[in-house]
Chains A and B, each alone.
Chain A
Amino acid sequence: MSAFTTDDLFKIMRECAGEEEAVDLSSAAADQEFALLGYDSLALMEAISRVERGYGITLPEETLGDALTPAAFVAAVNTAIADRMPAAGAA
């Protein structure tokens, strides 16, 4: 099971964009570029910052870029969470 899901991401993106009305994005949305979903680099930068703080992770630089898809973003977050796990367990 993934620690971070597409739904988690869309919830954060909606908060970043200030969308009061939660309109469900289609399942195909996960594979569309953020730009096509209405999220420019400013909204994406804020989402990255929120996720990094919320999950105590650092996302690789190339995560930023509005050509990115939500699916790729979610995968990057889960990789970063998995990388963090052993260190957390050893501590």
Chain B
Amino acid sequence: MSAERPLPVALLLPGQGSQHPRMAAGLYGYEPVFTASMDEFFDAAGPEGGPLREDWLAERPATELDHVTRSQPLLFAVDLALGRLVLSWGVRPAALLGHSIGELASAVLAGVFDPRDATGLVLDRVGRLAKAPPGGMLAVAASTAEVEPYLSGDVVVGAVNAPRQTILAGPDGPLEKAGRALGEAGFVCRRVPSLSAFHSPMLEPACQGAAERFAAVPKRMPSPPVHSAYTAAPLTRADIDDPSFWARQPVAPVLFWPALEGLLATGDHLLVEVGPGQGLSQVARRHPAVRRGTSTVVSLLPPRPGPPESDRTAVATAATQIRAAGHAITAHADSHGVPTA
């Protein structure tokens, strides 16, 4: 389509809230690169690997997918496996940007962590978080300034997804109270699928001890750069070497929109969402660069859960769109999803 230099690719990796039963499962046993990556994860997960795999593939998982012990490891694994699938096509991203647990998957894709080390770190994290008091997250169609009067010690801004899409996090009772008050004031709210108050101080005690685990594994500078949704800037050497930067990610707010603005301020990109659903794609479409059409968005998976074929069709469509944007795509001989040129 474009004869001139193609837009550089930036991968977007979604996090908590985008999980759903059998997310991306239509690619398992179908796309070899994706399948190998998932199997590597289940193997690295040790005794937890079997139950994780069973619950991932089940229509009705034994432990629901919104539970921290399922949503976090499986989102990490699926984001990583989809990212590797895109890399296997010969696409060389210029940048990565992950939301919540998606940032850890980005860090693995960019070589900061060894995949097996990272699997251990994710399982260590969820083991700790599972002991945290129950809580939840609430999406509000309002700016951070608009929600400010409704915050309390317990209820905080957990994520800034878009100018008027703010996620609150906190214990169930106070969160419901804030939701009611916001509703009465005319704000539209919706619960985010999560049984934990991610990105809130509620998880602080549960994260203690995690830093030692991050300190114990080797870390390398990312290539390509990882734009962090915690600093709204590319990861620096200081970030990478600071174990508490990683350990505190479940407590710190996710500044996705500021990070996206930072990424697109470096130039226009072809934004490719590698994860379940199209939540980050939808948000990115609101960015002026995408509205104007100078940056574009491609989603690897369908917007809503569907039969296995819909995952496969969506991946094939995404590959076609990336190729149409001027990127050479190499189909592996055993890959189904990529239409041969």
The chain A residues found within 8 Å of chain B, CB to CB, are: 16-21, 23, 25, 33, 35-43, 45-46, 49, 66-67
Q: How far apart are the CA atoms of A16 and B290 in the complex, in Å?
A: 18
- CB-CB under 8 A from B279, the residues of chain A are 40
User: Quick check: A38 and B284 within 8 Å, CB to CB?
Assistant: yes
Q: Does B213 contact A (CB under 8 A)?
A: no
Q: How far apart are the CA atoms of A21 and B288 in the complex, in Å?
A: 7
Given A42-B165, A45-B141, A17:B286 Cβ within 8 A:
yes
A68 CB → nearest B CB, Å: 12
Given A16-B141, A49-B188, A66-B303, A38:B290 Cβ within 8 A:
yes
A65 CB → nearest B CB, Å: 10
User: Quick check: A38 and B286 within 8 Å, CB to CB?
Assistant: yes
A41 CB → nearest B CB, Å: 7
User: Quick check: B282 and A38 within 8 Å, CB to CB?
Assistant: yes
Q: How far apart are the CA atoms of A39 and B162 in the complex, in Å?
A: 11
A64 CB → nearest B CB, Å: 11
User: Quick check: A42 and B283 within 8 Å, CB to CB?
Assistant: no
User: Quick check: B163 and A18 within 8 Å, CB to CB?
Assistant: yes
| Among A20, A37, A38: residue with most chain B CB under 10 A | A38
User: Quick check: A19 and B303 within 8 Å, CB to CB?
Assistant: no
- CB-CB under 8 A from B283, the residues of chain A are 38, 40
Q: Does B220 contact A (CB under 8 A)?
A: no
User: Quick check: B291 and A35 within 8 Å, CB to CB?
Assistant: no
Q: A46-B188, A49-B188 are in contact. List 4 more A-B contacts (CB 8 A).
A: A38-B282, A38-B291, A41-B190, A43-B141
Nearest A residue to B164 by beta-carbon distance? A18
Count of CB-CB pairs between chains A and B under 8 Å: 60
- CB-CB under 8 A from B292, the residues of chain A are 23
15 example contacts (A-B, Cβ-Cβ < 8 A) are as follows: A17-B163, A17-B165, A18-B143, A19-B163, A23-B288, A23-B291, A33-B303, A35-B303, A38-B282, A38-B291, A42-B165, A45-B188, A45-B190, A49-B186, A49-B188
| Among B163, B188, B285, B292: residue with most chain A CB under 10 A | B188
A33 CB → nearest B CB, Å: 8
Q: Is the interface on chain B under 10, 10 to 19, 20 to 34, or 35 or more residues?
A: 20 to 34
- CB-CB under 8 A from B190, the residues of chain A are 41-42, 45
B276 CB → nearest A CB, Å: 14
- CB-CB under 8 A from B143, the residues of chain A are 18
B171 CB → nearest A CB, Å: 22
| Among A37, A40, A46, A66: residue with most chain B CB under 10 A | A40
Nearest B residue to A40 by beta-carbon distance? B282
User: Quick check: A42 and B163 within 8 Å, CB to CB?
Assistant: no
- CB-CB under 8 A from A39, the residues of chain B are 282, 286
Q: Does B139 contact A (CB under 8 A)?
A: yes
User: Quick check: B291 and A18 within 8 Å, CB to CB?
Assistant: no
A9 CB → nearest B CB, Å: 15
A50 CB → nearest B CB, Å: 9
Nearest A residue to B278 by beta-carbon distance? A35
- CB-CB under 8 A from B163, the residues of chain A are 17-20
B297 CB → nearest A CB, Å: 9
Given A45-B190, A49-B188, A66-B303, A17:B288 Cβ within 8 A:
no
- CB-CB under 8 A from A18, the residues of chain B are 143, 162-164
Q: How far apart are the CA atoms of A41 and B190 in the complex, in Å?
A: 9
User: Quick check: A25 and B188 within 8 Å, CB to CB?
Assistant: no
Q: How far apart are the CA atoms of A25 and B288 in the complex, in Å?
A: 11
User: Quick check: A25 and B291 within 8 Å, CB to CB?
Assistant: yes
Q: How far apart are the CA atoms of A13 and B39 in the complex, in Å?
A: 43
Q: How far apart are the CA atoms of A91 and B278 in the complex, in Å?
A: 47
B163 CB → nearest A CB, Å: 3
Q: How far apart are the CA atoms of A45 and B183 in the complex, in Å?
A: 12
B94 CB → nearest A CB, Å: 22
User: Quick check: B139 and A42 within 8 Å, CB to CB?
Assistant: yes
- CB-CB under 8 A from A38, the residues of chain B are 282-286, 290-291
Q: How far apart are the CA atoms of A26 and B163 in the complex, in Å?
A: 22
